[in-house]
Structures are given as structure tokens and as C-alpha cells.
Amino acid sequence: MINYSRSPWVSPIVVIIKKNGVDIRLCIDYRLVNSLTQLMVYPMPLINDLLEDLESPLWYCSLDMASGFWVVKMTDRARLISAFITPFGLFEWNRMPFGLKNAPQIYQRMIDNALYGFTRILKSEDHGGTADVFEDGEPVAPGRPSVLGRRSYIDDILIPANSWDQLCDRVEGLLEACDKWNLSISVVKSFWGMPKVEYLGHKISHNGLEANPKDLSALTDLAIPGSLRVMQSFLGSLNYYSRFIEDYAFYASVLYELRKIDFAAMTKEATQRRIQQVLKAEGADPRSQEDRDVDHRRTLDPEAPDPMKVDPRWIHAHRSFNVIKTRIATTPILRHFDPEREATVVVYASDWAISGALMQASEVDKALISIAPKKEPRRKSQAPIPTIGRDEELYIVSFDGSARVKRGGGAYSAILWRLPERRVVKARSGYAEGLT
């Protein structure tokens, strides 16, 4: 795995104690190396795409690859760059370690090629034992679909099947691909032939999709953060499950408005005591939780007066924080989208947030498919909500994008349809700078 090194590169190590309090996990701080590494451009799969088209399968396998990135051999130059210092000397990796900037893209590319068979595996004796199959390999003609009928996310593989025979065929195809590419599956961490499995922080079954945070108690037992950075981390972890949280845009928008000066004031003992007095008085309110939520939404106006003479934004922040924690612990089951059923979009808009829910009629009632929260910009000119006249044309705009919080910028794509024929008028994708 590692060898002694004479590399001019060096990265420090970080030792982390595992949960059992005895074993350790050796981590390497590659931040300096990564800052000097050019990002490898490769289309990573979108998690939302991997969670779709699951309305038909009855059986699932959720597999985790063994050894992870260690199955990838390092080039001589990469070994030098991976060098790390320990009390016992300077070492370098023979196999690709965790933490390098392009490690996920390289492993994803290898898994995609194993599933789809883009290139033929080269014989080692013809290339001196090492070769880059993506540079020197010969394309397989003609191409074939994935042995699983879908992509995987790095080392997490989901195998859905409509029948037990189909499941066995797909598992057999995967094992053959793994054998060719010298990949191993962790039997202990994998789930085979089950009606419900865990995959990418979700529970998947024929009935629908459930949120499954890795450590739910860490979210529900968390006190309101005392700094802006911790609050941003909390909101970032919840964004992954925002589709499960009703009215998420309304409550999260209050927390997004807080700044460093607000946290400095809220953490004062006198301020905390007055805030808790207000919240305690609300806890004695005999009304139902639903009625209190409605009243809370009505009083989210930052200019609303507070009887305790505390900045009302701080009171609203505590209320919203508690509501979000409660709702992440009681998230609903989202039904898989059925293209054969009629879809209904339920929308709600206020002066400071908009949201929508995609629903479909089921045998019993409307089944929730997804929740799409969105905080509305401060200026109405940025996101106008027009009124439609009878003589005006109707269009539908779909938008998908992601932004990096720390550095800004993000990829986006948008499509404009014209109704009622649903004709595509314009489509565009790109990368925008300066996003937050």
C-alpha cells in the first residue's frame, strides 16, 4: 500500500479516534496539494437522477465496494505527490488514497467503464505492466447498456429489479464486470435481495423514498448554533433533504438572514434568557402545533414587534430552528413518480419565499412526490410573479443548478416550454460565476 519516499512533496497526517475509542483512522491533509491540482473534468452522476425511475422494482441490492480507491494503482508522479510525513518517516502511496482532489472522478470513471464497457482491458504484457486504459484502450464496438441498467455513485451501487430472475441476472453481470476490472464488493456492508434498502442517505422501497440521515440524533439534539459557520453547516446538511421538509423555504430563509453580528448578540447570556422566556411562554400555548405554525408564518416579518424587546429576527430564528429539527425527524414518504398518473403541482408564494409540491392521485388520496422550496430574492424585479390574462401565451420554465458556497460559481441548465403543445422554445446550460 505504501513505501518509504524521497519525494520533495509532503503532507501532514491527522489521527482520528474511531467510535469504539480504541481504533484510529489515519487521515492525510491534502489541502495544499489539492489547491495546486488541476480539477479533472468528468460528469459525475446527480444523486436525484439515481433516485428516479424506481417505481417498478420490487427487489433491490445496495452494494458497497471493498477497499474503495485502493484498487487504483498510482503513477510514479502521483506517488511522489501523495507523500505524507509521520513520526516514522516519509511515505508515499502505491495505491490511490482518499482525500486527493481527483480521486472520486477517477474512480467514478473506472466504475462507469466497468458497467458500460467503453474500452477494452489491455493485456499487461503488451504495455510493460502499467497502462492508462482511457488513453491507450481500444473502444468496444458497438456500445452496450449498463449491466445494471443505470449508473452508480462512486463506490455505492444500487441494483433494482422488477423480478427475482432479473435481479439475479443483473448481479451476475455486475460480478463478471468486477472480476474483469479487479473490483471487490464488501459483503458485510452490502444488502442483497431486499424489498427495502439504504442508499445514499435514503431508504428505497417499492412504496417510495424516505429520508435516512446518517446520524439523525446529531441534528435533532443540536442546540441552535452560536456562530455563522456552524449555522451554514447545519443548513447545508439539511439542503440534501429539503425535498422532504414541508415549508422548508419559509423556515430556512429566517436562518439564512442571520449574520455574524446577530450570533454575537444572541449568544449573550441576558439575550438567551429573554429568548427562552418567550419560547417557554409559547410552549404553554394551548393551541395545536399546526395553529402555532400558521401564526409563526404570519409573524416572520422582521419588523414585527416583540413583547420582550428583543430583536424579533432572533425569536423567529429560534422558532424556525426548532420547527426544522422537528420536521426532519418526521419526514414523509415520497412516492415514486408514476408517468401513467396525472400530476398536480401545488404552489405557495409569499413576499419572501415560494415553494411547490409535486403530487399524484393514488388509490387513496393525493400522494406526495417531491417538495421544491425556494427563497425568493429581495428585489421583486429578480423573480416577478406575473398575472396571466386570457389572451396571453403560457410557458413553463424548468431550472436545475448547483452553487458552491465557499468559492461561488456553479453549473446550471434551463428549458423553456410553450403551452399547450409543450414545444421547447429555448434550452441553455452553462457555468455562472459569483453565485452564493
Query: Is residue 11's pLDDT more than 90?
Result: yes
Structural domains of the chain ordered from first start: 2-206 (3.30.70.270), 216-329 (no CATH), 388-436 (no CATH)
SS3 annotation, the chain? CEEECCCCCCECEEEEECCCCCCEEEEECCHHHHHCCCCCCCCCCCHHHHCCCCCCCCEEEEEEECCHHHHCECCHHHHHHCCEEECCEEEEECECCCCCCCHHHHHHHHHHHHHHCCECCCCHHHCCCCCCHHHHCCECCCCCCCCCCCCCECCEEEEEECCHHHHHHHHHHHHHHHHHCCCCEEEEEEEEEECEEEECCEEEECCEEEECCCCHHHHHCCCCCCCHHHHHHHHHHHHCCHHHCCCHHHHHHHHHCCCHHHHHHHCCHHHHHHHHHHHHHHHCCCCCHHHHHHHHHHCCCCCCCCCCCCCHHHHHHHHHHHHHHHHHHCCCCECCCCCCCCEEEEEEECCCEEEEEEEEECCCCEEEEEEEEEECCCCHHHCCCCCCCCCCCCEEEEEEECCCCCCCCEEEEEEEEECCCCEEEEEEEEEECCCC
Query: Is residue 73's pLDDT more than 60?
Result: yes
Give the rounded percent of residues in the chain with a pLDDT score beyond 90: 12
- Average pLDDT of span 118-122: 56
Using CA atoms, how far apart are residues 303 and 32, in angstroms rounded to an integer?
46
- Average pLDDT of span 296-305: 49
Per-residue pLDDT at 81: 93
C-alpha cell at 352: 419572501
Are the C-beta atoms of residues 198 and 157 closer than 8 Å to each other?
no
Query: Is residue 209's pLDDT more than 60?
Result: yes
Per-residue pLDDT at 79: 92
Q: Which of 41-50, 55-64, 175-184, 416-425 has the lowest mean pLDDT?
A: 416-425
pTM of the model: 0.68
Give the rounded percent of residues in the chain with a pLDDT score beyond 70: 73
**Amino acid at the residue 8:** P
Query: Is residue 250's pLDDT more than 60?
Result: yes
Query: Is residue 84's pLDDT more than 90?
Result: yes
Per-residue pLDDT at 269: 76
Closest C-alpha among 100, 123, 178, 113 to residue 146: 113
Instruction: Grade residue 168 by pLDDT with cuts at 50, 70 and 90.
Output: very high
Instruction: Grade residue 165 by pLDDT with cuts at 50, 70 and 90.
Output: very high
Query: Is residue 156's pLDDT more than 80?
Result: yes
- Average pLDDT of span 285-301: 51
Instruction: Grade residue 128 by pLDDT with cuts at 50, 70 and 90.
Output: low
Query: Is residue 125's pLDDT more than 50?
Result: no
Query: Is residue 29's pLDDT more than 80?
Result: yes
- Average pLDDT of span 192-209: 88
**Range among 44-53, 280-289, 370-379, 403-412 with highest mean pLDDT value:** 44-53
Using CA atoms, how far apart are residues 62 and 111, in angstroms rounded to an integer?
15
Per-residue pLDDT at 368: 54
For the stretch 339-398, pLDDT in tens is 777 777 777 766 666 677 777 766 445 555 555 555 444 433 344 444 445 556 777 777
Per-residue pLDDT at 380: 37
